[in-house]
Amino acid sequence: MNDSVTQPAGDAPVPDARSPAPALRARLLRSVSVVLAGGGTAGHVEPAMAVADALVALDPQARITALGTPRGLETRLVPERGYHLELITPVPLPRKPSGDLARLPPRIVRAVRESRAVLDDVDADVLIGFGGYVALPAYLAARGTRRRRGVPVVIHEANASAGLANRVGVRTAKRVLSAVPDCGLRDAEVVGVPVREAIAGLDRRALRASARAHFGFAEDAPVLLVFGGSQGAASINRAVAAAAGELAAAGVAVLHAYGAKNRLDLRTPDPADPPYVALPYLDRMELAYAAADLAICRSGAMTVAEVSAVGLPAVYVPLPIGNGEQRLNALPVVNAGGGMLVADADLTPSFVAEQVAGLLTDPQRLATMTVAAAQVGRPDAARQVASVALDVARVARDGQRAKKGRVALDVARAARRVRDRQADGQPMGGGRP
């Protein structure tokens, strides 16, 4: 082993190696680079965007890059929020054996290669994954890039039962965060589901009067909010619409988002009836939450997070497909007394007319449920996830500084030996005398 140091050419001085090289110094001094992997559905994109907003609030110089696919909602939602989007090959994970399984390995290889290129190009300090089609290749890519051994990973699981992507990613993650306890991921820290600031900071009581005026509701009328996610829910639509007469007779006003692809068949209202406001889509959900006393909705992770974050009691109707995760999502709120859980098949017009109308006309019970829902809600989840990610990025940077500092110290010692030998008049050849 030749541990000698070659003398610089000519009379050039031996460089001062006590500090990192200029390229490294520039990298360590630049702003933090965060990559968010949460594309596909609104349930993955919305938490990612909420965390992006929280990251910028905590560190205005942070550089945010979102990973997505050409077929996901992120192609619209991410640019609308003002963040940079990089697209990779989608890797849909089939729930059942099919021909898609044969096409999966080459898709994964391609998506991992594309994800790794993005991590390199933006010089990522940390990857935050939210599960889904985008997260799996991103987790695999983060294990090693061209520039260094790997990018640290923070995982957030929004559902009560973790999906495949996060179950794979947890093996190498630095920190694991979840919406609820016992999600199936080891060492998960419960923080809730990140929601956007317009929801997290909503004061329903302060906004109530203006929200009701916006939709045309009386200030003292009980108001039922009905929605089924971004696409609506046909079974919820049918049950509530069929009970419109009984709700009106009980003095209940209704705000119903039925979905752009659906139809809503309503009776002709009596002029004296409270308003039944039916819209294909609600673009101001914060006003809808503020105007309502009770909601009927699905129990996707994002829906439960928003509804409980604003302290709105709800009748949760889990989607009757999948692995039962929607039922699990609602259980913490329901068990705390902030909501009711009703199977899709049991949400009938008679249930709405009797149980829902009865609840809306019982102010004391509604008030108790409102308090319980608010206690379960976690409006600060986005900030917590962002804070954890920045901490992980800083620890990684500190480790790089320490490593480079040790290398610089070794170089400085070698340079000092060179100078000492020069001062003693010793030859600067290859071996030791």
Instruction: State pLDDT tens for residues 331-362.
Output: 999 999 999 999 999 999 999 999 999 999 99
Domains identified in the chain, total number: 2
Q: Are residues 159 and 246 in the same domain?
A: no
* Look-up of token digits 């994970």: 93
Q: Which of 17-31, 42-56, 395-409 has the lowest mean pLDDT?
A: 17-31
User: Is residue 178 domain-resident?
Assistant: yes
Q: Are residues 167 and 251 in the same domain?
A: no
User: Is residue 426 domain-resident?
Assistant: no
User: Are residues 201 and 175 in contact, defined by beta-carbon separation less than 8 angstroms?
Assistant: no
CATH code at position 188? 3.40.50.2000
Q: Are residues 64 and 209 in the same domain?
A: no
Q: Are residues 168 and 279 in the same domain?
A: no
pLDDT band for 398, please (50, 70, 90 cuts): confident
Q: Are residues 172 and 101 in the same domain?
A: yes
Q: Are residues 130 and 48 in the same domain?
A: yes
pLDDT value of residue 402? 53
Answer yes or no: is pLDDT of 28 > 70. no
User: Is residue 224 domain-resident?
Assistant: yes
How far is Cα 379 from Cα 160, in angstroms, rounded to an integer? 18
Q: Are residues 212 and 361 in the same domain?
A: yes
Domain boundary among 327, 357, 376: 376
User: Is residue 265 domain-resident?
Assistant: yes
Domain boundary among 376, 393, 428: 376
* Look-up of token digits 């050419």: 9
User: Is residue 264 domain-resident?
Assistant: yes
User: Is residue 347 domain-resident?
Assistant: yes
| pTM score | 0.80
Q: Are residues 192 and 274 in the same domain?
A: no
Burial 41-68 (b: 16+ CB within 10 A, else e): bbbbbbbbbbbbbbbbeebeebbbbbbb
Chain-centre distance for alpha carbon 243: 36
Q: Are residues 394 and 339 in the same domain?
A: no
User: Is residue 9 domain-resident?
Assistant: no
Q: Are residues 180 and 240 in the same domain?
A: no
Q: What is the CA radius of gyration of the chain?
A: 28
The parent domain of residue 148 ranges over 22-197+381-407
Q: Which of 8-17, 187-196, 410-419 has the lowest mean pLDDT?
A: 8-17
The per-residue pLDDT for range 67-80, each reduced to its tens digit, is 999 988 899 999 99
pLDDT value of residue 170? 96
Answer yes or no: is pLDDT of 247 > 50. yes
Q: Are residues 349 and 367 in the same domain?
A: yes
User: Is residue 161 domain-resident?
Assistant: yes
Q: Are residues 257 and 182 in the same domain?
A: no
Domain boundary among 330, 356, 376: 376
